[in-house]
Amino acid sequence: MDVRHVRHDLFPEIEPFASGLLAVDSHHTIYWEQSGNPRGIPVIFLHGGPGAGAAPAHRRFFDPHAYRVVIFDQRGCGRSHPHGEVRDNSTQHLVEDMETLRDHLGIKRWMLFGGSWGSTLALAYGIRHPRRCTGLVLRGIFLGGRSEIDWFLYGMRTFFPEAWRHFAESIPVAEHGDLLTAYHRRLLDADPAVHLPAAHTWSRYETVCSSLIQRADDPLAGSHDEAALALARIEAHYFVNNAFLADDEILHGVSTLRHLVPGTIVQGRYDMVCPIVTADRLAHAWPEARYVIVADAGHSAMEPGIRAALVRATEAMKVRLA
């Protein structure tokens, strides 16, 4: 690729050319959309969380003239329904939803693009269906390990003590030894007076810790109750169940991708939500993947250095897959 013409920021805003709702079982229905070029390179965007949902900005990581961009809201969040539902909501269910959606859209193979929890889901799908994948672009690596979950619950206070203090002090001191169980119980409570304060506190904690440079305004100003609840409830559900993965399951399984599927790993050096040690472990297990460390970034995909690296990755994949 000619470095003189390498793009360094997001593509212009676009609207979907198709969208719909797809029933994936007797009670879950997922929202999906397609944008860009209907005859372009198929790519599926996998949002984070789990439970965060997709946003219009996510279409902008891809050249709309080259890519057929598929985005969907995973079970229980975004425009999928029932909202906040954790029943039959697991990593394995989401992998099969992707296969159902791929078949529904008539796509034989596609590229996977996912960050944070989206990187977990992309790898879980790729390991199970490597011949359905043309490439993987991953960001802010999370592999679902117990140590990663414990870091989120307790380790981030090393760098964000004031944010963690608010997170912990919302729970009685007697329950501080197991914050996950305490939050999980409250988030599943049917009473909004119980689950909504817990949801907003959990969501704020994660958001505040996601960027290297903090915004001057309130990062969650105007956030909706439904969005906060879906993120916190589904995330806690997955954490309680160790992301429905055996310890190091993905690291052991990534050998199925080696020499078969090209990959790029983009990681912020100062990512406090998903520390770089996990990305380093993945890069060591998958040495054929391109490993890009962004020196001046944290976790968020929208930090300038991260989004520039991600766009460069999709542009490189565009050339490779054309």
**Active-site residue numbers?**
116, 271, 299
Peptide bond preceding 64 in cis form (omega within 30 of 0): no
Gap between the terminal Cα atoms of the chain: 13
Encoding tokens for residue 67?
């890519």
Single out the residue of 312, 184, 175, 322 nearest to residue 242, CA to CA: 184
Measured between alpha carbons, how far is residue 159 from residues 151, 163, 179, 301 in Å? Answer: 11, 9, 18, 20
Is residue 70 a contact partner of residue 27, using CB atoms and an 8 Å limit? no
Q: Phi and psi dihedrals of 298, rounded to 5?
A: -100, -130
Integer Cα distance of 49 and 238 in angstroms = 10
Integer Cα distance of 118 and 274 in angstroms = 12
> Which are the contacts of 247, defined by CB distance < 8 A and separation ≥ 6?
145, 146
> Which are the contacts of 300, defined by CB distance < 8 A and separation ≥ 6?
210, 211, 306
CB atoms inside a 10 Å sphere around CB 10: 17
Integer Cα distance of 302 and 230 in angstroms = 21
Give the helix/strand (H/E) hosting 294: strand 290-294
Beta strand residue intervals within 5-157, DSSP E: 18-23, 29-36, 41-46, 67-72, 110-115, 133-139
Strand order in the sheet with 41-46: 18-23, 29-36, 67-72, 41-46, 110-115, 133-139, 263-268, 290-294
